[in-house]
Amino acid sequence: MTFPTSIIRVAFLWALFFTTAFAADKSIPVLCYHRCGEEVKDSMTIKTKAFGEQLAWLMSNGYTVISLDTAAKYIKGEIKSIPAKSIVITADDGHKSVYSDMAPIIKKYKVPVTLFIYPSAISNAKYAMTWDQLRELEATKLFHVESHTYWHPNFKREKKSLSKEEYEKSVHAQLYKSKATLEKKMGHPIKYLAWPFGIYDEDLLVRAKEAGYEMAFSIDNHNAKAGLNNMTQPRYMIIDAYNLKRFESISSGKEDK
Ligand SMILES: [Zn+2]
């Protein structure tokens, strides 16, 4: 039996109406931090005091910090609504100052934070947190660990310097080994990825999807939203050189292109 074309057309229009009417229309600034400190020793560090002021500003200006998972589900249309002024906080690399400087502020304001971690550094590099510290942070229910590849490669450089075969092997390891290690160490599924140095290309986006990541994040300085490639949803890197005015401008979506 075949359906008359008119019925198919009406069904199609209804489907289109429903997907459009309930589409995730809000865009979300996703902030990317690295480390905090009393002094700014490098471009990845922001003064602990400034981080505290930014959180205080968000709280007193009606923002709701939502988890990265909530934002991703909203973008994918799996949940239908989020608060009006929603914003996401992430911190990359697992630096020990996340534990010493950032965590007390996060606990004070009780907001969710996603930590993008590359497992090779944890309980290994001097600058990094330990697995116990990561588990302690997750036990607060405020922090959540996701993947930042296995050892934070520069894929652009590797693609040039390695043979095709070596590069393929490396990409595979970075995506799969990181996910498997973090799942084993943290005891929960790893669904999200942050591209090291914000570097990606079309091939890597396909690879990340194949490896089972549901969404991946870059640092392309605009808001995350439905309709963009989910393997490269953008974030804003927050650096110490930004004053509170610039932070307000990012958070309020004024800098979204
Ligand atoms: Zn990083």
- Structural domain boundaries in the chain: 26-251
For the cut 60, the answer to whether the pLDDT of residue 60 exceeds it is yes
Taking only the tens place, the pLDDT of each residue in 102-129 is 999 999 999 999 999 999 999 999 999 9
Mean pLDDT across 132-154? 98
pLDDT of residue 6: 62
Residue 217 and residue 194 in contact, taking contact as beta carbons nearer than 8 Å:
yes
For residue 168, count other CB atoms closer than 10 A to its CB. Answer: 13
Instruction: Please list, in sequence order, all residues whose beta carbon lies within 8 angstroms of the beta carbon of residue 97, skipping any fewer than 6 positions away.
Output: 35, 36, 37, 45, 48
Ligand 1 center to 92 CA (angstroms): 5
Predicted local distance difference test score (pLDDT) of residue 10: 60
CB 217 within 8 A of CB 196: no
- Distance, CA 8 to ligand 1 centroid (Å)? 49
Distance 197 CA to ligand 1 centre (A): 6
* CB count in 10 Å sphere of residue 124: 11
Per-residue pLDDT at 185 exceeds 60: yes
Cα 87 to middle of ligand 1, angstroms: 20
190's tokens: 């790893």
Ligand 1 center to 103 CA (angstroms): 18
Cα 149 to ligand 1 centroid, rounded to whole Å: 9
What's the gap in Å between 25 CA and the centre of ligand 1? 29
Interval between CA 192 and ligand 1 midpoint (Å): 14
> Which CATH superfamily does the domain covering 26-251 fall into?
Glycoside hydrolase/deacetylase (3.20.20.370)
DSSP tag of 102: I
CA–centroid distance, 153 to ligand 1, in Å, is 9
DSSP string, 82-138: --TTEEEEEEETTBHHIIIIIHHHHHHHT--EEEEE-GGGTTTSTTBPPHHHHHHHH
| Ligand 1 center to 80 CA (angstroms) | 31
The distance of Cα 65 from the centroid of its chain, to the nearest Å, equals 13
Compute, in angstroms, the gap from residue 22 CA to the centroid of ligand 1: 35
How much distance in Å is there from the Cα of 33 to the middle of ligand 1?
9
Spacing, Cα 45 to ligand 1 middle (Å): 12
Contact 131, 122 (CB under 8 A): yes
Question: Taking all residues of the chain, what is their mean pLDDT, rounded to a whole number?
Answer: 93
Closest CA to 117 of 180, 29, 178: 178
Ligand 1 centroid to Cα of residue 171, in Å, is: 16
Query: How confident is the model at residue 257, as a pLDDT?
Result: 75
Decide if 213 contacts 176 (C-beta within 8 A). no
Is residue 58 a contact partner of residue 90, using CB atoms and an 8 Å limit? no
Distance 15 CA to ligand 1 centre (A): 41
Distance 152 CA to ligand 1 centre (A): 6
Q: Using the mean position of ligand 1's atoms as its centre, give its distance from the Cα of residue 4 in Å.
A: 55
Tell me the mean pLDDT in the region 40-51: 93
Report pTM: 0.90
